[in-house]
Amino acid sequence: MAVKATIYKAELQVNDMDRHHYAAYALTLAQHPSETEERLMVRLLAFALHADERLAFGRGISADDEPDLWLKDLTGAIELWIDLGQPDDQRIRRACGRAQRVVVINYSGRGADIWWEKTASLVERCRNLTVLDLAASSCQTLAALASRNLRLQCFIEDGQVQVLDESGNASVMGMVVRQGAK
């Protein structure tokens, strides 16, 4: 018998002073059986960082042809493709050909450095690619906030991110490894 996805409900208040975007979102996230709470919370963080009423969760882990999150225009063209983790260079190049902008959010500590050293030269012609590297300790703190019913506030200012709920908060430290064209 197949293991089913675990459903998480999230009320997310985004206060992004950098983009002047202030909105509340009621989200439903399906946690794939092989997905950790850390990855689930990084997906939610990715949503907050790029929040838009048209931003949607893709099938991610379950599909090779869809990202973890994407933003499509009214014609169905992909404006933004967001992948988490360490996708291979072929997937990145394919995404860069399909979308106006591609963002890879890496969150695995030392493994991230090794992956980027190997992948950087293979994707150097992808001008629309941005790669973010989140500190492993930040992601672990973020994962500690996970619960089936989330009520989170996310504050973004000068590239610094704070995620808060009634039980605690997480300061997310990250750096842009590569900045793509906007």
Q: Which domain holds residue 163?
A: 6-178
Residue 67 in any domain: the answer is yes
pLDDT for 88: 92
106 bridge partner residues: 133
Q: How confident is the model at residue 2 (pLDDT cuts 50, 70, 90)?
A: low
Q: End-to-end CA distance of the chain, in Å? A: 45
> Is the distance from CB of 48 to CB of 23 less than 8 angstroms?
no
pLDDT for 62: 65
Domain tally, the chain: 1
Residue 151 has pLDDT above 70, yes or no: yes
This prediction's pTM = 0.93
Residue 42 in any domain: the answer is yes
How far is C-alpha 16 from the geometric centre of its chain's CA atoms?
15
CATH number where 30 lies: 3.10.640.10
Task: At 175, list the tokens.
Answer: 């750096």
Tell me the average pLDDT of the chain. Answer: 91
Residue 102 in any domain: the answer is yes
Task: At 179, list the tokens.
Answer: 């900045």
Residue 109 has pLDDT above 80, yes or no: no
Residue 36 in any domain: the answer is yes
Task: At 88, list the tokens.
Answer: 């291979």
Closest listed residue to residue 62, CA positions, set 93, 33, 29, 96: 33
The average pLDDT across 38-61 equals 92
Q: Cα(82)–Cα(101) distance, rounded to whole angstroms? A: 9
Residue 1 in any domain: the answer is no
Residue 134 has pLDDT above 60, yes or no: yes
Cα-trace Rg, the chain: 16
Task: At 78, list the tokens.
Answer: 């992909």
* Percent of the chain at pLDDT exceeding 90: 71
Closest listed residue to residue 169, CA positions, set 181, 148, 151: 151
Residue 150 in any domain: the answer is yes
Residue 162 has pLDDT above 90, yes or no: yes
Residue 139 in any domain: the answer is yes
- The count of other CB atoms within 10 Å of the CB of residue 67 is 27
Q: Which tens digit of pLDDT belongs to each residue from 110-121?
A: 788 899 999 999
